[in-house]
Amino acid sequence: NTLWLIVPAAGQGKRMGATKPKQYLALGEQPILAHTLSRLYAAFPTAHLVLCLDNDDCWFSSAWVPFANWQRVSGGAERMDSVLNALKSITAQQDDVVIVHDVARPCVTSADLLALLHAANEHPSGALLAMPVADTMKRANAEQLSTATESRDGLWHALTPQGFRYALLRQALEHAVDHQRVVTDEASAVEALGEAPRLVSGRRDNLKITHPDDLALAAAIMASQAA
Least separation in angstroms between residue 9's CB and ligand C5P is 5
In three state form, how does the secondary structure of 173-190 look? Answer: HHHHHHCCCCCCCHHHHH
By the rule CB under 6 A, 206 interacts with ligand C5P: no
Distances (CA, A) of 203 to 111, 129, 172: 10, 8, 27
* Nearest CB to ligand C5P, comparing residues 13 and 126: 13
Least separation in angstroms between residue 148's CB and ligand C5P is 26
* Nearest-CB residue for ligand C5P: 11
With CB under 6 A as the contact rule, which of the stretches 64-72, 73-81, 115-123, 128-136 interacts with ligand C5P?
73-81
* Nearest CB to ligand C5P, comparing residues 121 and 131: 131
By the rule CB under 6 A, 8 interacts with ligand C5P: yes
By the rule CB under 6 A, 221 interacts with ligand C5P: no
Contact letters for ligand C5P, residues 51-70 (x by CB under 6 A): -x------------------
Least separation in angstroms between residue 12's CB and ligand C5P is 7
Cα dihedral angle (117, 40, 74, 126), rounded to 10 degrees? 10
By the rule CB under 6 A, 163 interacts with ligand C5P: no
- Is the Cβ–Cβ distance between 195 and 126 less than 8 Å? yes
- Is the Cβ–Cβ distance between 96 and 169 less than 8 Å? no
Contacts of 180 (CB under 8 A, 6+ apart): none
CA 172/CA 168 separation, integer angstroms: 6
Least separation in angstroms between residue 36's CB and ligand C5P is 9
Please work out, in degrees rounded to the nearest 5, the angle formed at the alpha carbon of residue 211 by the alpha carbons of 134 and 37: 90
With CB under 6 A as the contact rule, which of the stretches 3-11, 91-99, 112-120, 175-183 interacts with ligand C5P?
3-11
By the rule CB under 6 A, 9 interacts with ligand C5P: yes
Mapped onto helix, strand or coil, the DSSP state of residue 153 is coil
The answer to whether the bond into 106 is cis (omega within 30° of 0) is no
By the rule CB under 6 A, 31 interacts with ligand C5P: no
Burial of 18: CB neighbours in 10 Å, binned 0-12, 13-18, 19+: middle
- Is the Cβ–Cβ distance between 18 and 38 less than 8 Å? no
* Nearest CB to ligand C5P, comparing residues 85 and 125: 85
Contact letters for ligand C5P, residues 95-114 (x by CB under 6 A): -------xxx----------
Binding site for ligand C5P (CB under 6 A): 8-11, 13, 52, 75-79, 82, 102-104, 210
